[in-house]
A and B are shown apart, each in its own frame.
Chain A
Amino acid sequence: MSTPEPPLALLAELTHRCPLQCPYCSNPLALEGVEGELGTEEWCRILDEAAALGAYQVHFSGGEPALRKDLPKLVRHASAAGLYTNLITSGIPLNGEKIDALAGAGLEHVQLSLQDTLPEEADRVAKMPGAHAKKLEIARCVREAGLALTINCVFHRQNLERLDAMIELAVALGAGRLEIAHVQYYGWAIENRQALLPSRDQIEKANALIADAEARLKGVLLFDHVPPDYYARRPKACMGGWGRQFLNISPSGKALPCHAAETIPDLRFDNVRERSLADIWVESDAFRRFRGTGWMPEPCGSCDRREIDWGGCRCQALMLTGDAAQADPVCELSPDHGRILQMVKNEAGQEVPPFRYRRKAN
């Protein structure tokens, strides 16, 4: 097997701790505890190894990465190693002083999550009173510190009607980018699927609105649109292809091809405490298993889109077909595509059940 191209970016999940409890969190249901978290020196070594391996960017993420007291030190280290540094945050533990310190350490960009434009709704989804007001304050501090700002909002059936208002808010806050992320159904979001899944009508309206806003706001606001899987005809190129672009390190040092990869039961994940990043990237079982196109069964194996969507998402294939090596059933060509249509029919537009919030099991 030939040596893979180096990764483009390192996703550094510094912690699974978070002050918010959003019911669509992309973290696994089994959240890792603070006691297992990698230390500062371990993260510094990983950042050096990622830069040496050829990664361009690091995304400090979580959980809430700003809960780590060593975040400024890690940003400074990453920046000195030549990595472009992004912080993906709820904003809650930050303040003006902390943001200035991060800017001084070499941080380039902050991606701040908002849950809604209505404060009471945003706070209900995050399950934290006052969260939305705090986030608006943090957006202002980020811009005052001269950092680049992206607003990220996860959209679902309960907030899609405020998509237009969110676009206006992002412009008003001075964001250069808006990430419109429809819920991806893994982990916590699966637990809350019926409460989150939009109708086809809602999706069509949203798509038209986004196309219009993108044209209207050209040169003012960049849009990053994560379309809703279940209404697609072809699957997303999940992670840009398995083991092709991204390396995700969990708080305790597990090296994952994507943040949901642990749902695939027979994959063996290496830990950065035991192996170098370069070794893991090239040789670990988990990264090799679905890399490239050699593993693909039909209809993917002979599909002319196999190097465009890379077979879609392995975790989704597992969840919906029971076999991670099958085509992502989001694809119309998958023999299991009917299951998605049936599920959407059964769940979208039904009564909205209460959320099961993201929290660590006792």
Chain B
Amino acid sequence: MARVELNADAVPRFAPHVQFRFDAKRTQWVILAPERLLVPDAIAVEVLRLCDGQASIFTMVAALAETYQATPETLEGDILELLQDLMDQGVLTL
């Protein structure tokens, strides 16, 4: 097994046994993984909600660029970095 390095064509999805869910009690999105809890910030939540195992990172960036009226080029680097970090943490897979 080797580390996966993401590029814009990649289609990430949540790894098996990782749950991304809204906690109504604390009104926050959380990521549940083996003996771990991650609380993604607002931007990460927006990105992760597009992570459905269908959309490529390129598609996700385009959608977010439209929502935030930004150019995809300005967003792509940050979003790739965020998703790569979550890949490295075992939260996402291909």
Which secondary structure characterizes the binding site on chain B?
loop
Nearest A residue to B5 via CB reads A219
Stretch of B24-32, B63-71, B75-83 contacting A (4+ beta carbons < 8 Å): B24-32
Mask of B31-75 contacts with A, CB within 8 angstroms, 1/0: 011110100000000000000000000000000000000000000
Q: Which of B17, B25, B88, B90 has the most CB of A within 10 A?
A: B17
Nearest B residue to A171 via CB reads B1
Give the residues from 97 to 122 in chain A that come closer than 8 angstroms, CB to CB, to chain B. 108-109, 111
Kindly identify which residue among A109, A148, A220 contacts B2, using a CB–CB cutoff of 8 Å. A220
- Contacting pair A219 B4 (CB below 8 A): yes
CB within 8 Å for A220 and B25 given contacts A56-B37, A177-B34: no
Nearest B residue to A146 via CB reads B16
- Contacting pair B30 A56 (CB below 8 A): yes
Summed over the interface, the residue pairs from A and B with CB atoms below 8 Å come to a total of 54
A174: chain B residues at CB < 8 Å are: 1
- Contacting pair B35 A57 (CB below 8 A): yes
Taken together as a complex, chains A and B put the C-alpha atoms of A108 and B36 apart, in Å, by: 12
- Contacting pair B25 A84 (CB below 8 A): no
Kindly identify which residue among A150, A171, A218, A220 contacts B34, using a CB–CB cutoff of 8 Å. A150
A6: chain B residues at CB < 8 Å are: 25-26
- Contacting pair B16 A219 (CB below 8 A): no
- Total interface residues on A, using CB and 8 Å? 24
Taken together as a complex, chains A and B put the C-alpha atoms of A150 and B17 apart, in Å, by: 12
A81: chain B residues at CB < 8 Å are: none
Taken together as a complex, chains A and B put the C-alpha atoms of A202 and B41 apart, in Å, by: 39
- Contacting pair B35 A218 (CB below 8 A): no
Q: Does B87 count as interface, using CB distance less than 8 angstroms? A: yes
CB within 8 Å for A109 and B88 given contacts A6-B25, A218-B3: no
- Contacting pair A56 B32 (CB below 8 A): yes
- Contacting pair A109 B35 (CB below 8 A): yes
Kindly identify which residue among B17, B37, B87 contacts A8, using a CB–CB cutoff of 8 Å. B37
Nearest A residue to B87 via CB reads A219
CB within 8 Å for A86 and B34 given contacts A148-B17, A176-B90, A220-B1: yes
Q: Does A59 count as interface, using CB distance less than 8 angstroms? A: yes
- Contacting pair A109 B34 (CB below 8 A): yes
Q: Does A147 count as interface, using CB distance less than 8 angstroms? A: yes
Taken together as a complex, chains A and B put the C-alpha atoms of A56 and B34 apart, in Å, by: 11
- Contacting pair A222 B37 (CB below 8 A): no
Task: Show 19 residue pairs from A and B whose CB-CB distance is below 8 angstroms, ordered by the A residue.
Answer: A54-B23, A56-B30, A57-B32, A57-B37, A84-B32, A108-B17, A109-B17, A109-B35, A111-B35, A146-B16, A148-B16, A150-B34, A177-B34, A177-B35, A177-B90, A218-B3, A219-B4, A220-B1, A224-B35
Q: What are the 5 closest A-B residue pairs judged by CB atoms, nearest first?
A: A219-B3, A109-B34, A148-B17, A84-B32, A219-B88
- In the complex, besides A86-B34, A108-B19, 7 extra interface pairs with C-beta distance below 8 angstroms are A6-B25, A56-B23, A108-B17, A109-B34, A148-B17, A176-B90, A219-B2
Which residues of chain A have a CB within 8 Å of any CB of chain B? 6, 8, 54, 56-57, 59, 84, 86, 108-109, 111, 146-148, 150, 171, 174, 176-177, 218-220, 222, 224
Which residues of chain B have a CB within 8 Å of any CB of chain A? 1-4, 16-17, 19, 23, 25-26, 30, 32-35, 37, 87-90
